[in-house]
Structure 1
Amino acid sequence: MTEKIIEYIEQFVKLTDEEKKQVGSCFKEVKIKKRQFIVQPNFTTKHRNYVYKGAFRAYVVGDEGQDHTINFAIDDWWITDYNSYIFQQPATMFVVALEDSIILQIDYEAEQELKRQNHKFETFFRIIAERGLAFQQRRIISNLIHTAEERYENYVLKYPQIVQRVPQYALASFLGMTTEFLSRIRNKRVAKKS
């Protein structure tokens, strides 16, 4: 399974055979059951998780008990509580499996050592951090300037595979609307196609 993570890394930096062995040995395969948590508040996040197969949801719970979806991750995506992982401090969000999944985990110390030993790994982790930051920026801007309907339409166009795999309540939370409102948008969309 480490071939998959190596293949993913090589989309961004080319590795020698020795570097492939080095990075491959740092990732551990973990099978996760649906509804199992891989990150929970108040526990320091020790791993960055590459989703080999499956789907995850990261969310926080507000003071009123309402949860707010921060992110999703499906096959070939990464997920963790990055604030907790990067600063090695207690997590503030939950990360839960939405389906039976397989992840490849790298722990914080192993990642730091890889980056110290080889500039290529530092470059790789910088690139995926930059891509994640750009995604979050697009999301914030979309939430500020688009209507709920536009946010949904844009998300369906850009990430149809996620829309098909995540529960409606989680998608509604991610897009900043109620489940009922999302149902109305979907029903209107279906009616237009008829």
Structure 2
Amino acid sequence: MGNIIAGRFDQQISADEARAEILRAGFAEEQVSTFYVSPPGQHDMTLIGGDEIKSHGAEHTERGIAKGGIAGGVVGAVIGAATMPVIGPVAPVVGALVGAHVGDLAGSLSETEDDGTESGTLPYRRSGMMLAISAASEDEEARAVRVLRELQALDIERAEGTIANGDWEDFDPLQPPRLVDLH
């Protein structure tokens, strides 16, 4: 197991050009791997598909829906009571139901997650074309990072692993990337 420097590209052609440039920078073909990383949740890691049995995002949505639904229901009931002379005795019930649905939607949309980019980490690996270089020394690491920066690679990271025959054998798409300090 050795050190790997990797960068993400949004387009295949950019990754291909970066691969050619890395090879021109003196890295051997056996040190380089290019592959596509699927979006989070689409790595087919479980028997039923997806990455995990449980959706972590659903926890936030459930809390938001509960809060929003209750608030929306109360507001809807008040509005329903105010419109009772026009709609009739079912106005508070209809108002509460409509308010609860609107509150559910607002509650589920209000839950946001910090993507961690300011602290130098990402909570998940973003999708795109990955170019990975096995670096045998600190000198090679610095050269790989320099070339990836020049080529405007996204999410340049440092990892441990093995690249053999053009394949990053122990790559884990669920492992959050450890970003290289870009300052």
- Return the structure number with greater helix share: 1
Quick one: higher RCO (CA 8 Å, sep 6+), 1 or 2? 2
Question: Structure 1 length as normaliser, TM-score?
Answer: 0.20
- Return the structure number with greater strand share: 1
Greater Rg over alpha carbons, structure: 2
Question: Structure 2 length as normaliser, TM-score?
Answer: 0.20
